[in-house]
Amino acid sequence: MLTLPFEDSLPRGLTDLLPGLARQGLGARPCGPLDRDFLRALYAGTRESELAQTGWPAEQVQAFLAGQFEHQRRHFETHFPGALFLLLERKGQAIGRLYWWEGEDRAVLVDVILLPALRGQGLGTALLKTLLDRADARCLPIELHVEAGNPARRLYQRLGFMPAADTGFYTPMRRPVPHAAVLHG
């Protein structure tokens, strides 16, 4: 089992998530103030194509992205108290973020972003399977929201997520607890 010298200070839930991530060649740690620039750039990378169409000057784009990043951060912290806000690492290098929340009756994949160069290589699938195993062991359905047109939607559907409704820009999706997990949980 993977242990860390500071394991006692880790947020609840991270210590039993680490072994599953380690099997995928990943590490995770709580996001901290020194990660802010990386996280801001990671977020900005998800909006590049959208904002390229605005014709805004670079400084306006940067100001907009900074504001949106802060708004999103506050929204997540307000609506998902106690969530794990994790920096994903591989070989000691930051490669993405994972925001995960668990309640008594459901888990929520709040957000996951990998560096563009690492997308489409199975890393996201492996990460999600680790989260599915965790939720199944606790008999928790998983909820998430995905943007219309996001290629990750196909991945979520392959892993058993179903659209809960079509609300336009963001589609809520839910993966129920598999029957076998309920029987053995």
Q: Which domain holds residue 103?
A: 8-184
Q: What's residue 1's pLDDT? A: 28
From 163, 45, 167, 54, select the one nearest 113 (Cα to Cα).
45
3 assigned to some structural domain: no
2 assigned to some structural domain: no
128 vs 6, 17, 64, 132, 147, CA distance in Å? 25, 12, 30, 6, 17
Report the domain count for the chain.
1
63 assigned to some structural domain: yes
96 assigned to some structural domain: yes
- We report the CATH number of the domain holding residue 65 as 3.40.630.30
Distance CA 53, CA 104 (A): 42
123 assigned to some structural domain: yes
41 assigned to some structural domain: yes
Measured in degrees and rounded to the nearest 5, phi and psi for residue 90 equal: -140, 125
Global confidence as pTM? 0.86
Q: What's residue 3's pLDDT? A: 31
105 vs 11, 102, 143, 150, CA distance in Å? 20, 8, 11, 27
pLDDT in tens, the chain (185 residues): 233 333 344 555 566 677 777 877 888 899 999 999 999 999 999 988 889 899 999 999 999 999 999 999 999 999 999 899 999 999 889 999 999 999 999 999 999 999 999 988 888 998 999 999 999 999 999 999 998 888 899 999 999 999 987 777 889 999 999 875 555 55
Q: What's residue 9's pLDDT? A: 44
173 assigned to some structural domain: yes
1 assigned to some structural domain: no
Q: What's residue 185's pLDDT? A: 52
